[in-house]
Structure 1
Amino acid sequence: MKKFISELKGKTVMTNDGQILGMIENFLVDTVSGDIKNVLVVPSEDIDAKIHKTDAKGRLILPFSEMRSARDVVVMSTM
């Protein structure tokens, strides 16, 4: 299935076991290849951001390659 990035912004991200990680805010793109490398996620209040890689604004940096869309939410396949 193909989606526009604009359709994914604001979507909830959760793990395979249903833990909500947060909400998609932005994407990191490789400017040479054009590939989406990572997704920036505003962490939910229940998440300890210290156990995840974060950027300077405290957003979770999650690999785009591990994401799978599931209608209203985006599921991380290896978390």
Structure 2
Amino acid sequence: MPGQRKRKQRRLRETDRRSLPEGPGRWETLLSTEDHAEFRTFVHRMYAQGLATDPNLVRLDQFCGRLQHPTTYRVSVFVPAPA
């Protein structure tokens, strides 16, 4: 269908813009591992303890591995800059 790629890209950009945290700050890495079970356990424990109250302030990344680099999982939290 003509123009579908443009619409999809625009929709993805709008979604990314809505989910960005407000104001200046930085992403702080809490966990970086190659073990998926450890990653999943950490995320479940983090949500159970109430450390992740706003899902827009937590970033869960999966870096796909290839032959030389294994798949890596990372949990980051947005830390706002002090006022």
Structure number with greater CO (CA < 8 Å, separation at least 6) is: 2
- Bigger radius of gyration among the two: 2
- Which structure dedicates a bigger proportion of its chain to strand? 1
| Same fold (TM > 0.5) | no
Q: Output the TM-score relative to the length of structure 2.
A: 0.24
Q: Output the TM-score relative to the length of structure 1.
A: 0.24
